[in-house]
């Protein structure tokens, strides 16, 4: 007896449902609560479009448009985060392996995705980087008169420059001396040995009255020499009135007769008042006409003001450019010491020699290079300083001091 045997390729619905957990066995379509939620009436809804019920966050928020904006930003951020994560995953993915010696086929290159957030922005260079610090050349061409065998004209020009520089120094020293000369003691008014002795011995001996008379005599002599007494004697005096009798009449040489003041009448006062009023009205009328004319000249005034401002601006810019050019040739203040120029290496006509064998060098090359660096603002101005010597306070120990006192007392007792 033959029987046809069939092999089932898939599991039955009951066995597959039994293998699932209890929560997933239920068919969501045939769940009992679902039909109760569906519309069971054939009558259409009379209100076609109903208002949407607001959420709890929308009800709590005072300004709903801000909430909508925040939600939109949140969705955008989430979208950007997902895109970034996707791009990072594609970058970190390992490339497909291939045989290098199999053939000439080149694997396809993946496009490099540039993440703008991970890239560092380039640093902007400072504005002062391109500006020149100084226009002083590194090696200055020496003057033609500094040659070992210069021409007469070049040598004379160099000597004149050296003389001018020396004269400036002398004038500066003279100004300082003249400023502080009044504070310095004079040779004539300087106290003698006798005055110093009297000052030290003041109050030790008698004769104070004689000394006071002597001092008064000295002060009187000084006052006469300075001309103070003559100035005191020349006191302005009033002019006296003298009378001269001639032929029984008295004539006055100098007589200050008071001037008689005529009383003004009412008519004269009224006329003066009217004249003042007319003069005032004329001045006011003239001022009003002038103001009216100035109103019509507003445009011309504006043109004049604009032209004046443009000229002033041009002048300021020219001054600024001039100052900048001068500042580029001057050394900056980089330290508390000033960059003083070195003396000109000049020789007199007697010291000049026509050969290099007999020439005595002037100046120092190292010092010249050092000054050049200071003038070009590459290093600060420096001055050679010595280490300060700290004053040490001497102190004797108590035992040593007592021992010295005892020794001194013993020596004095033995000597006596």
What is the rounded CA–CA span in Å between residue 353 and residue 150? Answer: 10
What six digits make up the tokens of 192? 């003698």
Location of structure tokens 């007199």: 348
SS3 category, 243: strand
Of the ranges 42-46, 172-176, 237-241, 348-352, the best mean pLDDT one: 172-176
CA 176 to chain centre: 31
Location of structure tokens 């007589």: 255
Say how many C-beta atoms besides its own lie within 10 A of residue 337's C-beta: 13
List, as own/partner pairs, every contact residues 157-161 make where C-beta atoms lie below 8 angstroms and the sequence separation is at least 24, other chains included: 158/344, 158/346, 159/346, 159/348, 161/344
Please state whether 232 falls in left (phi above 0), alpha (psi between -120 and 50) or beta.
alpha
pLDDT reported for residue 22: 59
Give per-residue pLDDT as tens, 358-374.
888 888 889 999 999 99
What is the rounded CA–CA span in Å between residue 233 and residue 411? Answer: 74
Give 194's pLDDT tier (boundaries 50, 70, 90).
confident
Residues in the chain: 416
Give per-residue pLDDT as tens, 91-136.
555 556 666 676 666 555 555 555 555 567 788 888 878 778 888 9
pLDDT reported for residue 90: 62
Q: What is the mean pLDDT of residues 378-394?
A: 86
Q: What percent of the chain has pLDDT over 90?
A: 20
Q: What is the pTM of this model?
A: 0.41
Domain positions in the chain are 334-346+363-380
Which position has the higher pLDDT, 409 or 256? 409
Contact between 352 and 309 (Cβ < 8 Å): no
Location of structure tokens 């020349």: 234
What is the rounded CA–CA span in Å between residue 136 and residue 378? Answer: 11
What six digits make up the tokens of 160? 């004149």
pLDDT reported for residue 126: 84
Q: What is the mean pLDDT of residues 323-333?
A: 88
C-alpha distances (whole Å) from 371 to each of 134, 140, 187, 333 are 14, 12, 43, 14
């Amino acid at each position: 007896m033959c029987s046809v045997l069939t092999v089932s390729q898939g599991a039955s619905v009951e066995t597959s449902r039994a293998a699932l957990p209890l929560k997933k066995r239920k068919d969501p379509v045939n769940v009992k609560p679902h039909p109760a939620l569906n519309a069971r009436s054939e009558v259409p809804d009379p209100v076609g479009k109903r208002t949407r019920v607001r959420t709890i966050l929308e009800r709590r928020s005072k300004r709903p448009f801000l909430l909508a904006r925040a939600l939109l930003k949140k969705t955008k951020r989430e979208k950007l985060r997902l895109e970034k994560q996707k791009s990072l995953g594609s970058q970190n993915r390992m490339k497909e392996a291939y045989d290098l010696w199999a053939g000439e086929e080149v694997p396809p290159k993946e496009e490099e995705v540039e993440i703008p957030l991970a890239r560092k922005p380039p640093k902007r260079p400072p504005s002062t980087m391109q500006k020149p610090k100084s226009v002083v050349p590194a090696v200055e061409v020496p003057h033609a008169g500094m040659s070992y065998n210069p021409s007469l004209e070049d040598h004379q020009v160099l000597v004149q420059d050296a003389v001018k520089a020396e004269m400036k120094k002398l004038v500066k020293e003279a100004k300082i001396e003249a400023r502080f000369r009044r504070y310095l003691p004079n040779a004539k008014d300087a106290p003698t040995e006798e005055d110093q002795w009297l000052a030290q011995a003041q109050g030790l001996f008698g004769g104070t009255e004689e000394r006071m008379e002597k001092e008064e005599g000295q002060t009187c002599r000084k006052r006469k020499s300075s001309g103070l007494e003559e100035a005191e004697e020349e006191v302005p005096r009033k002019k006296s009135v003298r009378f001269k009798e001639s032929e029984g009449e008295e004539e006055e040489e100098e007589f200050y007769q008071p001037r008689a003041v005529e009383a003004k009448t009412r008519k004269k006062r009224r006329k003066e008042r009217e004249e003042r009023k007319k003069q005032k009205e004329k001045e006011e009328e003239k001022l009003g006409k002038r103001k009216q004319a100035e109103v019509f000249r507003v445009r011309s005034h504006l043109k004049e003001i604009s032209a004046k401002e443009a000229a002033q601006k041009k002048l300021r810019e020219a001054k600024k450019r001039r100052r900048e050019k001068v500042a580029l040739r001057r050394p900056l203040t980089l330290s508390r010491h000033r960059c003083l120029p070195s003396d000109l290496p000049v020789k007199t006509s007697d010291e000049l020699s026509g050969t290099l064998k007999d020439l005595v060098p002037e100046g120092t090359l190292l010092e010249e290079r050092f000054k050049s660096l200071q003038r070009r603002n590459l290093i600060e101005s420096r001055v050679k300083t010595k280490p300060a010597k700290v004053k040490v306070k001497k102190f004797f120990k108590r035992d040593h001091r007592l021992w010295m006192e005892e020794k001194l007392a013993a020596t004095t007792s033995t000597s006596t």
